[in-house]
Amino acid sequence: MIVVDDLHKHFGGFHAVDGASLRIEKGSITGLIGPNGAGKTTLFNVIAGVLSPTSGRVTMEGEDITGLPPHALFHKGLLRTFQIAHEFSSMTCRENLMMVPPGQSGETLWNTWFGRKRIADEERALRAKADEVLEFLTISHLADHKAGQVSGGQKKLLELGRTMMVDARIVFLDEVGAGVNRTLLNTIGDAIQRLNRERGYTFVVIEHDMDFIERLCDPVICMAEGKVLAEGTLAEIKANEEVIEAYLGTGLKNKDKLEAGA
Ligand SMILES: Nc1ncnc2c1ncn2[C@@H]1O[C@H](COP(=O)(O)OP(=O)(O)O)[C@@H](O)[C@H]1O
Ligand SMILES: [Mg+2]
C-alpha cells in the first residue's frame, strides 16, 4: 500500500532519516520499533506530509505522494493522529469528533442563509456518527465531558476516534501507549484490531511497549540511526544480532525495552 524508497530527512548536517526503505502491506498492522532517536517519528512525519523529505520517494498504491501536504493525504485516507490541540480541550468529546469531517455545509455564508434545513440534517447525521464512534471505542459515557478533562488514555481513544469520522484507509499512530494504563491500552489495542478486521484499516504503529507490539503487529520493522535494520515477526526481530546491538548501543534502558514482554 505504501512504499518508501531511499528516504532521507536531514536537519542541517544531521541525518534523522538516512536512506530508509520499506513497504507497508495493505490490511496489515505494521509495528515500527527502534531505540530513541532512530528516526521513527521523523519518518512518520515525512510520510504524512508534515515534513518534506530531503530526498527519496513515497508512493501510495503506486501513486507518488512524496511531499504532498497533510490535507491532500487526508483526502486519500492517509491519516496521522495528533494530540487533541489545546484549543479544542474546552469542547466536549462529541464536539471534537464532529469537528473532523471537512466540507460541512455550515461553513459558507450562503448556506447560513439558505440552507438551514440541510445544515440541521447534516449536523444530526454528524452527531449520530460521533455517537457511534464513541460507542465503538467504549467511551459513550464521555460524550459530554470536556476533552481537556478526560484521562490521557481516553484522549488517545478520542484521537483514534477522529480517524473514524472520515474514510480513513491507513492510519499512523505514534506512541499510542505512552502514559496510558494497561486497561486502556488494551481497549486501544482492541479498537485497532477491530478497525483493521471490520473496516479494513491498515495501521502503522510506533510503540515502545513490546507486549502491545507482540499482540497487534505483524510484521514489525526495526529502525536505527535513520535506517531500516530488520523486518519480520517480533520474535525474529528480537533474535536479530544487528537489532540487539542497536538497542545495546543506546544503553541498557533501551535494551530492557526490547526484552520487556519477551
Ligand atoms: N526538527 C528537528 N530538528 C533537528 N533535529 C531533529 C528534529 N526532529 C528530530 N530530530 C532529531 O532526529 C533524530 C530522530 O528523531 P525522531 O524521529 O524523533 O526519533 P524517534 O521517534 O525514533 O525517537 C533525533 O536525534 C532527533 O533529535
Ligand atoms: Mg518518536
The string of DSSP letters for 118-139 reads HHHHHHHHHHHHHHHHHHHTT-
Predicted pLDDT of residue 136: 93
Ligand 1 atom with the smallest distance to the CA of 51 is 1
What is the model's pLDDT at position 152? 87
Cα–Cα distance for residue pair 49/152, rounded to 1 Å? 26
Q: Which residues of the chain have a pLDDT value below 50?
A: 104-106, 262
139: which residues sit within 8 A by CB, 6+ positions away? 93, 150, 154, 157, 158, 161
38 lines ligand 1 (CB under 6 A): yes
Ligand nearest to the CA of 16: 1
Provide the pLDDT for residue 123: 87
Asked whether 42 lines ligand 1 (CB < 6 A), one says yes
Q: How far is CA 258 from CA 86, 111, 182, in A?
A: 33, 55, 18
Domain boundaries, the chain: 2-92+168-259
Neighbouring C-beta atoms of residue 127, cutoff 10 Å: 15
174 CA closest ligand 1 atom index: 21
Domain 2-92+168-259, what architecture? 3-Layer(aba) Sandwich (3.40)
Residue with the smallest CA separation from ligand 1 atom 3 is 11
Count other Cβ atoms within 10 Å, centred on residue 185: 21
Task: Dig out the grid coordinates for 8 from the structure.
Answer: 532521507
Ligand 1 atom closest to 42 (CA): 17
Residue type present at position 121? D
| Most ligand 1 atoms within 8 A of CB, residue of 33, 42, 43, 176 to mutate | 42
CB 148 within 8 A of CB 90: yes
